């Protein structure tokens, strides 16, 4: 790929779990990639192999401060995405979502770049509609311990659509549901990484409540594919759009599956359910199927095997 066909792509949060996979895929497509990350939850290890590529550049930077670079496309992924990390410094989490969105939207306005916001299923809160469709407004506790992330992401969506209406920015908004795979942080507190690490160490596997609460799990390569497809849609298609796996699984079923794959002797133990933890979480991906011609292709057992192999090599 040469000249005008090689895009300059900025990925904020590019050293994180999803961001590192996205950077790798964009490089494979022949683009120039600028990875921006303050390494709060991202790690150099996630991008160590990419640093050898002459079309890849890493910049340590916090998106709550303005960034002066050039770009044709911006993927705004910067924000801690697990309760352990986003609740550690909730004020900074809100700043990252809100100030980060303002700074990246300002950059897109100056450069004319197309910009994608990595929003989240958490904007639906603890939903009373199931599965969740994009026209559902959500059920969020604005003053709870998860609000720094939930409301921060909701405000970021508001900003994106206000910039679209006021300045005609080329925006894309994706609502990402539970995603898993290699490069997850071993101590991020997410259910997949928790269970795998506990199983590999032979520790008891901790579920909250009775484990009947459900989630849907999308393998990271499928999610990267969906995000890129969304970025490539026509400018008048903005989203928001749900991205995730519609196959629902209870937390207890996930724990039992990981024990089976690892062959661990771990026992499953229960602890009280955290405040505002959703009972059900599952996307309606009709819009993604119709507009992106996308549906997840990696089956949960296959994806977990690959993820477990990666964790076994790093812990």
Nearest to 269 by CA among 198, 215, 188, 213: 198
Q: CB neighbours (10 Å) of residue 143? A: 7
- pLDDT by residue (tens digit) across 51-66? 999 999 999 999 999 9
CA distance 106 to 102: 6
149 catalytic? Reply is yes
Which residue out of 40, 149, 164, 180 is catalytically annotated?
149
Q: In the predicted model, is pLDDT for residue 2 greater than 60?
A: no
Q: How many structural domains compose the chain?
A: 1
Mean pLDDT of the chain: 94
- pLDDT reading at 88 higher than 90: no
pLDDT of residue 1: 52
Which pair of structure tokens corresponds to residue 231? Answer: 């970025």
Encoded tokens for 194: 């928790």
Q: Which domain holds residue 32?
A: 3-314
Q: Is the pLDDT of residue 315 over 90?
A: no
Q: Which tens digits make up the pLDDT trace of 168-183?
A: 999 999 999 999 999 9
Residue-level pLDDT at 4: 56
- What is the structure's pLDDT at 98? 98
Backbone angles phi, psi at 149, to 5 degrees: -85, -50
Residue ranges of the alpha helices (H) in 239-297? Answer: 251-262, 286-292
**Is the pLDDT assigned to residue 223 strictly greater than 70?**
yes
Average of per-residue pLDDT across 272-285? 81
* CATH number of the domain where residue 206 is located: 3.40.50.720
Contact 48, 14 (CB under 8 A): no
Give mean pLDDT, residues 227-245. 98
């Amino acid at each position: 790929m040469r000249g005008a066909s090689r895009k300059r792509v900025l990925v904020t949060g590019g050293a994180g779990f999803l961001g590192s996979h996205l950077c790798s895929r964009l490089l494979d497509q022949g683009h120039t990639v600028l990875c921006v990350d303050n390494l709060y939850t991202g790690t150099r290890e996630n991008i160590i192999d990419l640093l050898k590529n002459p079309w890849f550049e890493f910049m340590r930077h916090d998106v709550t401060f303005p960034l002066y670079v050039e770009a044709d496309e911006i993927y705004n992924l910067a924000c801690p995405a697990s309760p352990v990390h986003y609740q550690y410094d909730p004020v900074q989490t809100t700043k990252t979502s809100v100030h980060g969105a303002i700074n990246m939207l300002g950059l897109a306005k100056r450069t004319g770049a197309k910009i994608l916001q990595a929003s989240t299923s958490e904007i639906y809160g603890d939903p009373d509609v199931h599965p969740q469709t994009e026209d559902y407004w959500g059920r969020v506790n604005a003053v709870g311990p998860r609000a720094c992330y939930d409301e921060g992401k909701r405000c970021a969506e508001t900003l994106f659509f206000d910039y679209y209406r006021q300045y005609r920015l080329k925006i894309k908004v994706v609502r990402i549901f539970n995603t898993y795979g290699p490069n997850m942080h071993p101590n991020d507190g997410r259910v997949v990484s928790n269970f795998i690490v506990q199983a590999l160490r032979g520790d008891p596997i901790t579920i909250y409540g009775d484990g009947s609460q459900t989630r849907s799990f999308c393998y990271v390569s499928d999610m990267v594919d969906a995000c890129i497809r969304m970025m490539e849609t026509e400018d008048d298609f903005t989203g928001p759009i749900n991205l995730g796996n519609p196959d629902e699984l209870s937390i207890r079923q996930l724990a039992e599956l990981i024990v089976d794959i690892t062959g661990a002797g771990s026992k499953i133990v229960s602890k009280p359910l955290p405040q505002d933890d959703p009972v059900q979480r599952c996307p309606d991906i009709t819009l993604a199927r119709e507009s992106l011609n996308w549906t997840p292709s990696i089956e949960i057992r296959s994806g977990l095997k690959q993820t477990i192999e990666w964790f076994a090599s790093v812990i």
